[in-house]
Structure 1
Amino acid sequence: MPRVTLKTVAAAVGVSPATVSNAYNRPDQLSAELRERILAVAAELGFTGPDAAGRALRTGRSGAVGVLLTGYLSYAFSDPYAVGLLAGLASAVEGTTTSIVLLPLHYDADGVPDLSVVRQASIDALALLSVPATHPVADLARARGISLVTTDPLDDPGASWVAIDDRRTGTLVGEHLAGLGHTDVVVVAPVDDAPPGSEVRLVEPPRLDFADYAARLSGLSDALDGRITLVTAGQNDFGSGERVAAWLLARGPLPTAVVGLSDVLALGVLEGLNAADVDVPGTVSVCGFDDIPAAAPRGLTTVRQPIVERGREIGRMLLDPDEAPRQVLMPVELVVRRSTGPTRTV
């Protein structure tokens, strides 16, 4: 049986192929009676609509926006920060015909990124989450004519970004702990190249360009005069924080404060310390970043950022590359709760 095409339907109805296309893509251009007749004939012939790939080639638009994630795809569905950000982005897209495509960025054993995920993607715009705008994947997207929205502030006046002052967030936590007298502070950072709850690695000397949190870590270190110990136990996961807590308990003596570079890590540390009956904050203070929904019930001191609203702004920029403003700095604030207190007397 020959393949039924848009031209087949047009011939059967006695109209032009453009009219049949309008019945699907621009129904406001036709009378309701004519559109219903076209769709009825199409259904009888088994025609389900114009080919999406062909339409994309003709218009130069795919009708989809991409979100590039570092590491594993399940992060988008399991990490509270990512969930909130994507919920905000999705709320901006709702009511349109635009789809959201999640693109996980992988690396080989030598640390070389697999650019095929963007090379093969059929998208009109791309948001880079925790990926610097200087990354090769960003260069590839620009070469393909894909508009970019980043989550880091850039000096380029033509760039589009929705960011927070990450250095300021680190400074807020560091100044808070310094004001409480803390000088022995362990900082827990996530890495993408190890599974959650991996063996704890001590990063010596503490690298201020570590992972995706260079600005946050730099502000924290400066406020504490560099008196930090940096460790990692895998990906950004509750289990990684718990593993660090167990390591600290076995290593002894305990630091006076532990800072997770995300609330997820900090809550894992907090759970591990509580399970061992460690007095928080009497013996150890614990801080996080982001103020995810689980932070308040656990009394976690953290730095709040408007996660959902940040995602909504990213979605707005992805949908319309010309709509202003194109550079938005979101506010942050320190939220002090019961997980931090004055340093213990050693």
Structure 2
Amino acid sequence: MSARPTLATIAEAVGVSRMTVSNAFNRPDQLSPELRERVLATARQLGYAGPDPGARALSRGRTGTVGVIIDAPLTLAFSDPAAVQMLHGVASVCELEKLGMSLVPRIAGTDAELVKTALVDGFVVYCVGDDDPRLDAVRARHLPYAMIDYEPGKAERTVNVDDREGARRTAQHLVDLGHRRFGIVLGWENPATSVADALASMQYHVDRERLAGWSEAMQAAGVPFGSVPLASAPGFDRAAGRVAGGKLLDRADRPTAIVCISDLMALGVLEAAAERGVAVPQQLSVAGFDDIPAAARAGLTTVRQPHQEKGAAALRLLLDTTTPQASVLLPTELVPRSSTAPSP
């Protein structure tokens, strides 16, 4: 098999210097149109596709690409409605700034390596846990980065929504409807059986804030939050919500209201209720968080958050070289729908 053609190979074939060939690809204004076309034609004949993009990026000190680190497999970036909208926000700013976007997913065993080798100018980091090994890899790159859904003060640039207030309003809405027997649905198979244990083991800022918001409203109404039952299941989708919801609905002291960490989980709880013949909202109220499109179709009471603006705001912070430290807190909005009603 013949060796891969190089700049030197082309230079010899054309009878020019290696620098002249390089200029034909990288600085065309340095050559006459005729000479440049002769170099490019020879390159095509020899099967040379052009300079290596990684080497070109290193020589320029800039790639023109932003990395987006997500805390899930790559398929979730295209299937989870909240993630899709966040990425849309990042992409909208990329288009304005003429930048590319590279996704860096979670892949067991190679998480940090993907960060170390990513050809990017900076990172937007979306909803990762406190102990995520990729954070050390990001910091070791000495590139700018902005965190979404991460505790303010623990990074120079953070973008969050008011998760605590959104959750508090949800619980207050249910309290005002007369509910006092609650259940909580979490994701990712949280082994905790009590609120205290859940808080101690939670690695995600978003989870802690939502749990704290529910706690504020329930405890103010005299509900002993420490005894509110928790349920979870592997994953963070409808199937996980159906399993976790089933655990709560199969209890002898079945809740009259269930608050869920996300809309996808809440939609699964609605399915679990339907399977058991539990009428929503007559016998059970269910509330989610996110206001994904499917929530409106299902009549799900939820908390609306600006997913697209989270992504856009994070990239704007990343690109703003005049403000090295900034924390953005976006508002949330309670959206009552038909899945909640007065306590039976």
TM-score normalised by structure 2 residue count: 0.83
For residue 126 of structure 2, what is the aligned residue in structure 1? 129
Aligned partner letter, 1:252: A
Q: How far, CA to CA, are the matches of 1:115 and 1:317 in structure 2? A: 23
Q: Once the two structures are aligned, what percentage of the paired residues are identical?
A: 42
- Residue 294 of structure 1 and its aligned partner are, at CA, apart by 0.4
For residue 214 of structure 2, what is the aligned residue in structure 1? 220
Q: How far, CA to CA, are the matches of 1:216 and 1:35 in structure 2? A: 61
Q: How far, CA to CA, are the matches of 1:97 and 1:330 in structure 2? A: 25
Q: Secondary structure at the match of 2:341?
A: coil
For residue 165 of structure 1, what is the aligned residue in structure 2? 162
Correspondence list, 1:181-330, <5 A: 181-191=178-188, 203-206=193-196, 207-209=198-200, 210-212=202-204, 213-225=207-219, 226-227=224-225, 228-318=228-318, 320=319, 322=321, 327-330=327-330
CA shift digits 1:76-95 (9 cap, x unpaired): 22221112212322333347
- Residue 118 of structure 1 and its aligned partner are, at CA, apart by 2.3
For residue 51 of structure 1, what is the aligned residue in structure 2? 52
Q: How far, CA to CA, are the matches of 1:132 and 1:15 in structure 2? A: 55
Q: CA RMSD in A?
A: 3.0
Question: After alignment, is 44-53 or 207-216 more displaced?
Answer: 207-216
CA shift digits 1:36-88 (9 cap, x unpaired): 44433321222101012322332333443322222433322222111221232
- Residue 289 of structure 1 and its aligned partner are, at CA, apart by 0.4
Q: Which runs of 5+ in 2 are unaligned?
A: none
Q: How far, CA to CA, are the matches of 1:57 and 1:150 in structure 2? A: 25
Q: How far, CA to CA, are the matches of 2:14 and 2:80 in structure 1? A: 52
- Residue 136 of structure 1 and its aligned partner are, at CA, apart by 4.4
Distance 1:63 1:103, change over 3 A: farther
Task: Give the helix-richer structure, 1 or 2.
Answer: 2
Distance 1:141 1:92, change over 3 A: same
- Residue 30 of structure 1 and its aligned partner are, at CA, apart by 6.5
Distance 1:182 1:21, change over 3 A: farther
Distance 1:205 1:317, change over 3 A: closer
Q: Which runs of 5+ in 1 are unaligned?
A: 108-112, 195-199
For residue 152 of structure 2, what is the aligned residue in structure 1? 154
Whether 1:100 and 2:94 are equivalent positions in the alignment is: no
Aligned partner letter, 1:204: S
Residue number among 135, 140, 143 corresponding to 1:138 in the alignment:
135
